[in-house]
Amino acid sequence: RSAYRLGFSLKYENTVGACSNSPDGSRVLWRHIWRTKVPPKVRHFAWKVTGQCKICGVEEESEYHTLVICPHAKFLRFAMREIWPLPDEQQFQYGGPDWLLWLLEQCTEIQRELVLLMFWRIWYDRNQQMHEFVCPSIEGSRRFLDAYHLSVSSVNDTITLHDPKGKQLKRPD
């Protein structure tokens, strides 16, 4: 088990690179914000208005970048693909403003569930980075998603609907 974690860490976590709030020297421009002698809220404001991704700090932030292109999103998708039947990588290509709708159109029902759960977690990780200044772990997100999907699936399988008169209703599919 520890060998698996080591291999996973070497494969995914060590290759993501630095987060934008703690650059590794290759992004020295961030120092102009973080080392300026102004109140932290002013530095935070400057960081937010740069328009760059708050996780990788490399590209302009957009929904597509955050959910698909950002290294954190890619590595989480690769990790999830090892345990989930996600769509092929080509299906995650940008196809215009409706890219998400087109992606979901191409997916099976289970793939739609998994893709939406994964995107939801990626957005959560982004918000953690933005508001809590915590670089999310790929392994932690992978474990959370796997467990969360199992619990959601088991709840959905056991739901029985009742009307106010006590009659059992058929669950919509």
What are the domain boundaries of the chain?
Answer: 2-153
CA torsion through residues 143, 149, 151, 152, sign: positive
pLDDT, residue 162, reads 52
The reported pLDDT for the residue numbered 132 is 83
Give pLDDT tens digits along the chain (173 positions): 556 555 655 555 444 444 544 444 345 667 778 888 888 888 878 877 778 887 888 888 899 999 999 999 999 999 999 999 999 999 999 999 999 999 999 999 999 999 999 999 999 999 888 888 887 899 999 999 999 999 988 877 665 555 556 555 555 55
Q: Which long-range contacts (CB under 8 A, 24 or more apart) does 78-85 make?
A: 78/12, 79/8, 79/12, 79/138, 79/139, 79/141, 79/142, 80/114, 80/118, 80/142, 80/145, 83/142, 83/146, 84/114, 84/118, 84/146, 84/149, 85/110, 85/111, 85/114
The pLDDT score that the predictor gives to residue 35 is: 83
Please report the pLDDT score of residue 167 as a whole number.
58
pLDDT of residue 79: 97
Model's pTM, two decimal places? 0.69
User: How confident is the model at residue 171, as a pLDDT?
Assistant: 53
Give the pLDDT of residue 3.
62
Would you call 20 exposed, middle or buried from its count of C-beta atoms within 10 A (0-12, 13-18, 19+)? buried
